[in-house]
Amino acid sequence: MCSGSMDSKLTGGGLRDGVCRVVSQVFPLGYLESPIIRRYSAEPTEWLTNSKFCDELLGQEAADQPDENFDCNDEPSHGNVTIEARKKPNETKASISGSWSSNMNHSTDLKSRHRTHRPYLLQTVLDAPSGKVVSMLDRWIGDGNQLERNEFLLVLFHLGKQRLYRKALKFIKWIEGRNLLKFEERDYACFLDLIARHSGIENAQKYIARVPKPFRNEVLYETLLVNCVRVSDIQKAEEVFREIRNLSLPLTVSACNQMISLYKRVACNKVADILTLMEKENIKPSPFTYKLIIVLKGGSNDMSGMELVLSEMKASGVELDFATRTLVAKFYIYAGLTEKAEAVISEMEMDYIKDKRHAIRSLLLLYADLSKPGEVARIWKLCTEPNRGDFVAAIEAWGKLGCIKQAEETFEAMLETTKKVSSRYYNAMLSVYAENKLMDKGKALVERMSSDGCPSDPVTWDLLIKLYVNSGEVGKADSFLLNVTKENLDRRPTYGSYIYLLRAYAKEGDIHNAEKIFDRLKKVGYPGREPLYSVLLEAYVNAKVRPHGFIERMRADGVRPVKIVIDHLKFLDQLPREGVPELEV
C-alpha cells in the first residue's frame, strides 16, 4: 500500500475533487464559539447560521489536535459538496451584531443549487495547481466573470474543509490585491485565520498592523486567540488575552471559554482564575462553559465535582441537552459507575421524542460503551429513517463491540440508501477495521473507496497509519506517512498521525525513529507541545538512555515540564551510571 497504484490512489489521485470530512469531536480545538461564528447568530439566513458551518468556513480543525475530548455525536452534515440547512444553535447571542451573511439574501436558492453541482469558480480553484491559482483566477475574471460574496464564502468554506490553507490564502490575497470585494470585518478576521494556519501565529500577529484601525476589534483578536489555543501556545494565548483587556475591547464569554479550554489541557490550576475573572466582570457562563468544566472534572475522575457543576447548571436554568448528558454518562462509565450511567441513559430514552436524531446516536454509542449489543440492536431498530450520521454512529457502535459483520451490514445499507457519500463515511468503516487489526479488509475498503470515486483525506491517512501500527507494521506506517506528506503539499497529515507513530516507536524504545518523527512533525508546521515531549521521553525510558538537556529543549519551545516528564527524568537519573548511555538531544 505504500507504493504502486494503491499509493497513488491514497496520496495523489482525486484529492482535489472531494471535500474532506472529519468525524468531529465534542470540543475540537479552535471551535469554541469563534467570534466569527457568533456573528451569524443575529441573521435570518439559515445555511450560514450553523456555527459548525461557519467554523469550517474558517477552517477550524478537529482531527489535528491532541485533546482528551469525547464524542457527543453532534457532527455537521456536509457531504461532498452538499450543504445542509440547520437550525440555529441555542447559544446566547453575542453583543456583536454584524454578520458574514449580510449579503446572503439569496442563500435559500443557493443552497438547493449547490446541492447538485459546484459553481464554476469553486471548480476552477480546486482544479488549479497551487502555483497557478492566481493566473487561473485572472483568466476567470478575464472571461467576463464577476466575483460575488456568496461565491467567495463558498470557495473559502470548501478550501477550509479540505485544509487547503495555502490555496485559500492565495485566493483571498488575490481578491484583496485586485480589489474585487470591499473587505469587511469578517474578511480581515478570515485573512488572519488563514495566515495563522499556514504561516504561524507570529505572522498573523504582524498582519494585525495592516488591518485598518476600525476593524482591529475583539473579533480580530479573538480569531487570533482561537489559533493560539488551537496550537496550545499558552504564552501567545495569554499575551493575546491580556492585549484584549489592555485595549479595553469587550471581554466575551467565548474568549474566556478559549482560555478555559487551553488551561484544562496544559494548566488546570489556572481554570479557576478565569472563572473568578468571569464572576468579577459579570460574564455569565454559557452552556459551553459548563461543558468545559464537566470535561475537566470528569476527565480527572472528580465525579463529585462534576455533579456539583450539574447542580449549578440546573439552578441557573441551563438545560442539559443530549450532548451534555452523553458526556456525563460516558464519564460515569469510564469511572466504573455503571448504575449512575444507566440512570442518565434511561432519562435520555425518556426524552427520546424531544430530539430523536441526537438521542439515537448518543444511545447507540453509550450502549456500546456498556458492552450491550442487545441494546444497540434495539435502539437501531427504532431508527426507521436513518440518515448518514445515524449510519455512522451505528457502524461505530458495532465496531466498539467487535461486531464486524453487523458493522459491515450497516455500511452496505448506508451505501444502498445514499446516492453519494464522502470519505467520512468510508472512514467510519475503515476505523472499525483499524481498531480490530483487519489489514486485508482495510486494504480492500480503500481500493473500493478509490474505485467508487471517493477521494482519501487526512483522516483516511490517519486511520491507515493506525491500521499498520495496530497490525505490527510500524515501518510501513512510517513510509506511508512520509509519502502522503511529500505528495500532498497543500495539506498535511493530522497531528494524531504523527503522535500515533511516535508512540509506536517510543513503546519499542526506538530513539532514532522517535526523534525522526518528532522532527518531521515540527517541520510540517506543528508546534512542540507537552504531550509530544512526554511521548518522546518514553522512548528514552524504554531504551534506558539518559537524554541530555531534555528540560532545556522543552523550555526552548516554551513547553513546561509536567509531572510525568519530571518523574521519567528522575527515573533515568537514578539508573546506574555504568553501562547507561547518555545522548545529546
Average per-residue pLDDT for the chain: 78
Phi-psi group of 194: left, alpha or beta (phi > 0 → left; psi -120 to 50 → alpha; rest → beta) = alpha
Q: Classify 484 in phi/psi space as left (phi over 0), alpha (psi -120 to 50) or beta.
A: alpha
Sign of CA dihedral 3, 493, 133, 148: positive
E strand segments, 453-579: 546-548
Average pLDDT, stretch 86-96? Answer: 32
Instruction: Give the model's confidence band at 387: pLDDT under 50 very low, under 70 low, under 90 confident, else very high.
Output: confident
User: Is pLDDT of 81 > 70?
Assistant: no
pLDDT higher than 60, residue 112: no
How confident is the model over 505-550, as pLDDT tens digits?
999 999 999 999 999 988 887 776 777 889 999 999 999 998 888 9
pLDDT digits (tens, 9 = 90+) for 224-281: 999 999 888 888 999 999 999 999 999 999 999 999 999 998 888 899 999 999 999 9
The pLDDT value recorded for residue 119 is 54
382 — pLDDT class (breaks 50, 70, 90): confident
Spell out a b/e string for 46-84, using b for 16 or more CB atoms within 10 Å of the CB, else e.
Answer: bbbbbbbbbbbbbbbbbbbbbbebbbbbbbbbbbbbebe
Write the secondary structure of 44-94 as one string of H (helix), E (strand) and C (coil).
CCCCCCCHHHHHHHCCCCCCCCCCCCCCCCCCCCCCCCCCCCCCCCCCCCC
Res 222 pLDDT > 90: yes
Tell me: pLDDT of 117 over 70.
no
Name 546's bridge partners: 582
Whether the per-residue pLDDT at 391 is higher than 90: the answer is: yes
Residue 584's DSSP bridge partners are 548
Would you place residue 360 in the very low, low, confident or very high pLDDT band (cuts 50, 70, 90)? confident
- Residue 30: its pLDDT value, please? 38
Full DSSP string of 400-432 = HTT-HHHHHHHHHHHHHH-S---HHHHHHHHHH
Per-residue pLDDT of 419-445, as tens digits, reads 777 888 899 999 999 999 999 999 999
Give pLDDT, residue 223: 94
Q: What angle (nearest 5°) sits at the alpha carbon of residue 8, between those of residues 6 and 11? A: 105
pLDDT tens string 163-206? 888 899 999 999 999 999 899 898 999 999 999 998 889 999 99
pLDDT in tens, 118-163: 458 888 888 888 888 999 999 998 888 888 888 898 899 888 888 8
Residues 6+ apart with CB under 8 A from 213: none
**pLDDT at residue number 424:** 86
Q: How many residues does the chain have?
A: 585
Q: Is 215 exposed, middle or buried, given 0-12, 13-18 or 19+ CB atoms closer than 10 A?
A: middle
Q: What is the pLDDT of residue 290?
A: 94
Closest CA to 445 of 395, 394, 383, 386: 395
Q: 402 pLDDT band (50/70/90 cuts)?
A: very high
Nearest in space to 10 (alpha carbons), one of 427, 433, 416, 505: 427
3-state class of 544 per DSSP?
A: coil
CA 46, CA 226: separation in Å to the nearest integer? 24
Q: Is the pLDDT of residue 23 over 90?
A: no
At residue 512, the pLDDT reads: 95
C-alpha to C-alpha distance for 221 and 214, rounded to whole angstroms: 13
Tell me how far CA of residue 479 lies from CA of 35, 51, 464, 485, in angstroms. Answer: 40, 38, 12, 10
Query: How far is residue 191's CA from residue 176's CA, in Å, rounded to a whole number?
Result: 10
Residue 531: all three cell numbers together: 504531550
Distances 150 to 71, 105, 155, 161, 521 between C-alpha atoms, Å: 32, 9, 9, 17, 36
| 3-state DSSP assignment of residue 246 | helix
Quote the cell numbers at residue 83: 450543504
What pLDDT shows up at residue 161? 82
Percent of the residues in the chain that have a pLDDT greater than 70, as a whole number: 77
Q: What is the pLDDT of residue 50?
A: 34
pLDDT per position as a tens digit, 328-340: 999 999 999 999 9
Taking only the tens place, the pLDDT of each residue in 366-376 is: 999 999 999 99
Residue 26 pLDDT: 33
Q: Which pairs from 155-160 meet CB under 8 Å and 24+ separation?
A: 155/121, 155/122, 155/125, 156/57, 156/190, 157/53, 157/56, 157/57, 157/83, 158/19, 158/81, 158/122, 158/126, 159/59, 159/125, 160/56, 160/57, 160/58, 160/59, 160/60
Residue 335 grid cell: 469511572
